[in-house]
Structure formats: structure tokens, C-alpha cells
Amino acid sequence: MKFKILLASVLVIAGCQTTKETTQADTNQPKTVVEQPTNTPVETVVPIVPVIKETQPVVAHLTPQQQQDVWNRIAMQITTKIPNNKRVQYYRNWYLKNPRNLEIIAQRAQPFLYYITEQVEKRGMPLELALLPIVESSFDPHAYSSMAAAGLWQIIPDTGRRFGLKQNSWYDGRRDVVKSTTAALNLLEYLNKKFDGNWQQALAAYNTGEGRVFNAIRKNKAAGKPTDYWALDLPNETSSYVPKLYAVADIIMHPKKYGFHIEPIRNKPVIAIVKPGVQMDLTIAAEFAGISTSELKDLNPAYRRGVTAPNGLNHLLLPINTVSRFKRELAQNRNASMMTHHHRVKSGESLGLIAKRYHSSIKAIQKVNKLKTTNIRIGQSLTIPTSPISLVNRQHRAAVHVEAQHYVVQSGDNLWNIARKHKTSVAKLKQLNSLSKNAVLHKGQRLKVSTVSTSKKTVANHKTIHYKVRKGDSLSVIAQRYDVSVAEIKKWNNLANNKYIKQGQKLKLVIDRRKVKA
């Protein structure tokens, strides 16, 4: 209305003078220019009428890091052009026809995907690499392949050691989610440089080894053929490796296009690393955190004996909302981080002998008892830290088809009532637990109360494979690779103690089926 009054004023001021309007094509601000007759000396000033535009609401575009769902965070940052060739189409169709597969994978990825995505972003690597554990292990941290690759990233023993992952009877760094992620990304960066920035060739090398990919490239060059990944003559698994990753990436990027729903994963940290600074029984650590032992073991599959390692490798992954409770409980129960036995030193015993008997370690015994040396004296009382599962490797135990049943001593217990409760004898209990004649029981002490043959179900969990000895192999190397003992390999193959193995020789091995990737 104000503009109409203003315009009327202008017309009044101009009087009866003849005006001629011409509008200039100025995209910034329209103007009205008034031309005066040449015979009129009077100059009339016409004010510019402002053009008011409606203000459009500003739409705030969320960054990938501000997304509520980690899948969206990844999808927004994938810049790799996904080819729509037959191989990619085949695996994309497979995933779309089998939605249950990605549904299970999404559940397994819940604790880890945010962390892995962050690590890939920090290095400026292609974001589809955060999806690689889907192809490698279906996001199963316990995955174990017939080629002895282990963990989310399916790293073989030699490569693991090469990239700093410790592996011993207590701990396997390939199953440590944090350490193995660092090693895997280091390896991928190394391969990317080796193949001059070609990520497809680098991924192929991650799967089958850089030597084999370089040989395939040289072969194609000599034959005058293209040397891109799609043209290389590679093993079937490697030829399908990149297409599988690209198929998953394409689905994650375009879920509406394919009518696919994948369970959202919160774009927030859900796990945290804690360092207790002491060797811990995982059962006790779980109690401190207020979670189940199985959940703790799923987050920390690197620990092979039900306890953290005695050599300083004692960090734990915990749900982030349990960290405060864990730290509080640990501070209040600093000396209760391990199950313990009380042992009185006998003639002829050494720390090494005692550690072996209780499946503990010399360092752990020294630390608990504040011993500066390994010297001990007859009659000395020692607290021996040990595990609730007697620190016996479950795979070894299952291989000989014998399993032990245990009982934790309660207040008021004695050998007689424990024996009666478990339908055995005091003599048998003493024999099973190497107890002296006048042994005194302690609350919390773990006793072996019987040994039983494993069920058919347990035996069925094992798979027999035939391994072809490679150059540089030894019985101990093969035993460590497949998590069995040298004695077992000798027994399965009727090998004499002094018999050497040779390259190309086939060995029978019994492997836990539950740890072999399908």
C-alpha cells in the first residue's frame, strides 16, 4: 500500500508532463529512467522504487560427519565411479536377493563401523574402504579362514607380523579390532603407492598378494593387452573381490534406487579403549563393566585365554557408556583383576614350574607378589593369578576330545561336600587339582571337578583339511598359523620326533570349523 501512495505522489509532482519509460536489462536492480522533452528546462527527479523480494528459508545441508547414520556418512563421501559391468551387476543382484546377509552384517558392524570410518577419513582414503570388512569377514571379528587369515580384515600371520601385529599364545593382534584396523589401512596405503595410486590393483593385491598382481600386469603388457584390474588374469576370488566391494558400495549409496533397507548405525562413537594397566580376567572385567562376558569377548577377540596378556597387552574395548563404571570398579578392586590360587612353595619348585602348573606366567606371579627376582624359598606363600578356564586353549582341549568341568569354591566349602555335590571322591578332586594332603581351600578358588568326553556336537565343530607345506614352513610355524600344537600335527600325520617336513608335503590338520570363514 505504501508503494501505491508513493507512486501517486510522484505522478502529482510530475504534473501533466509527458513521460516515456524505458526499462534497462539490469539483472541486479531494475531502474525506471524518465526522458524529458528537449524544450523543457525543468528537470524532474523520480525516486527509484525498490523491488522487495521474499526471503527464501536457508536450508542447512548436513555434512557427512553430521549425519545421524554412519551408512549415510560413508555414502556421501564415496567419489569412486562404480562401473556397471557384469561382475558388479552379478554381486549387486546377489546382495539384493539375499537381504538377510547385509542385515546380519549390519548387526555385527554396530560397534565397529563408526571407528573404522573415522580412521579411513583421517587418512584421506576412499570411503568405500570402510566397507571392506563386509567382503573380507562379513564383519565377524572371530572369522578365521582356511588360509589362516584372521579377524575383521582377514590378515594372514606373516603379513600381520610384518605390519606390527603381535601373535602369541596369549594374544593375536589380527583379531584386535583397533590394532588390525591400523595394520590393514597401513597395508592398503603401502599397496596403493606400489601400484602408483591405482586402488583397484591395490585391493586385488590386498586379497592375493602384490607379486601375483604384478605378474598379471607384466603378462598383459607382454601380450599387448590392457593392464587395468578388469583385464587382468587373476584367481577367481580376486576377480570377484573388487566387484563385491563396489556392489555393496553402490547399494549403500543408492538404497532408494534399489528399494533396499539396511539397519541404521548411529553416527556416534559407541566403544572406547581403556588401559587397566594390569592383566585382567575377562570375566571379572565384564563384571566391572556391567556387561556379559560374551559381549566383552566379542569386543576383544584378540585375547586367546580368557585373560588379557601378561606382557603389557592389556587394553580393552568397552561400550562407551560402561567406561566410568569399569574404572570405578577397577579402582575399588585393584587386586581382584584376576582369579587367584594360593600356593605354598615346596622343595624343588621354581617360579617357572609353578607358573606352568597353574597356566600362569612368571611375570604375572612376580607382579602380584611384588617379587624383584625369581628366587623363592620353601614354605613361602604365593598368590598365583590364573584364568577361570584354566588358561587351556579350547581348540587343543577339543582336539583330544576331553573337557573339564569346574567349580568355584564358596564360603564354607570343603573337599568332602564338593566331592559329594559332584558325585566324585576327595581323592579324585585332589588328583585332578594336584592338591596336597592338607590342602586348604579358599573362597573363589576354581576346582576341576570332573573330566568328560566332548559331545558329538563339539567334535562336529572341527574340520579336517589337508595343508600343502610351503617354502620356509616348519611344524611350529604351521601350528601357530592354525592355532594347534606341534604334538597334534605329529599325531595326526604319524610323524616321528626327528622327522623333517619338506616343501610340497601334505599334512592333515584338524581345525575348529567355527573359526573358519564360510
The answer to whether the CB of 347 falls within 8 A of the CB of 436 is: no
- Contacts of residue 455, Cβ cutoff 8 Å, sequence gap at least 6: none
Q: 154 and 229 in one domain?
A: yes
Q: Between 496 and 2, name the one with better pLDDT.
A: 496
Residue 444 included in any domain: yes
| Three cell numbers written together for 96 | 539384493
Residue 140 included in any domain: yes
Alpha carbon distance 44, 36 (integer Å)? 8
Alpha carbon distance 112, 177 (integer Å)? 8
The arithmetic mean of pLDDT across residues 453-473, rounded, is: 64
CATH number of the domain encompassing residue 393? 3.10.350.10
Residue 147 included in any domain: yes
Residue 59 included in any domain: no
Q: 369 and 312 in one domain?
A: no
> In the prediction, which pLDDT does 240 show?
96
| Three cell numbers written together for 295 | 559381549
The answer to whether the CB of 483 falls within 8 A of the CB of 466 is: no
> In the prediction, which pLDDT does 268 show?
96
> In the prediction, which pLDDT does 318 show?
97
The single residue listed with the C-alpha cell 586385488 is 204
Q: 41 and 28 in one domain?
A: yes
Question: Which residue range(s) make up the domain with 498?
Answer: 463-515
Alpha carbon distance 44, 17 (integer Å)? 10
Q: 95 and 219 in one domain?
A: yes
Q: 408 and 322 in one domain?
A: no
> In the prediction, which pLDDT does 451 show?
57
Query: Known catalytic residues?
Result: 136
Q: What is the mean pLDDT of the chain?
A: 81
> In the prediction, which pLDDT does 358 show?
80
Residue 258 included in any domain: no
Residue that terminates a domain, selected from 197, 225, 253: 253
Residue 409 pLDDT > 90? no
> In the prediction, which pLDDT does 340 show?
67
Q: 469 and 388 in one domain?
A: no
Residue 436 pLDDT > 80? no
Q: 204 and 128 in one domain?
A: yes
The single residue listed with the C-alpha cell 557384469 is 86
Q: 188-237 pLDDT, tens per residue?
A: 999 999 999 999 999 999 999 999 999 999 999 999 999 999 999 999 99
The single residue listed with the C-alpha cell 611350529 is 476
Helix axes 177-194, 113-122, angle to 10 degrees: 40
Alpha carbon distance 226, 216 (integer Å)? 11
pLDDT-based confidence at residue 466 (cuts at 50, 70, 90): confident
Residue 263 included in any domain: no
Residue 266 included in any domain: no
Question: Which of 1-15, 305-319, 321-335 is the least confident region?
Answer: 1-15
pLDDT-based confidence at residue 332 (cuts at 50, 70, 90): confident
The arithmetic mean of pLDDT across residues 492-501, rounded, is: 75
Q: 300 and 159 in one domain?
A: no
Alpha carbon distance 424, 380 (integer Å)? 31
Percent of the chain predicted with pLDDT > 90: 47
Residue that terminates a domain, selected from 201, 218, 253: 253
| Three cell numbers written together for 138 | 562379513
pLDDT-based confidence at residue 65 (cuts at 50, 70, 90): very high
Q: Between 382 and 174, name the one with better pLDDT.
A: 174
Residue that terminates a domain, selected from 456, 475, 500: 456
Burial (CB count <10 Å: 0-12, 13-18, 19+), residue 121: middle
Question: How many CB atoms lie under 10 A from the CB of residue 65?
Answer: 12
Residue 21 included in any domain: yes
Q: 314 and 192 in one domain?
A: no
Helix/strand/coil (H, E, C) string of 62-104?
CCHHHCCEHHHHHHHHCCCCCCCCHHHHHHHHHHHHCHHHHHH
Q: 331 and 348 in one domain?
A: no
Question: Which of 55-69, 170-184, 212-226, 314-328 is the least confident region?
Answer: 55-69
Instruction: Record the pTM.
Output: 0.61
Q: 414 and 441 in one domain?
A: yes
pLDDT-based confidence at residue 396 (cuts at 50, 70, 90): very low
Q: 208 and 279 in one domain?
A: no
Give how many domains the chain has, as a whole number.
5
Q: 8-63 pLDDT, tens per residue?
A: 443 334 444 443 343 343 433 433 333 444 444 444 444 554 544 444 444 448 99
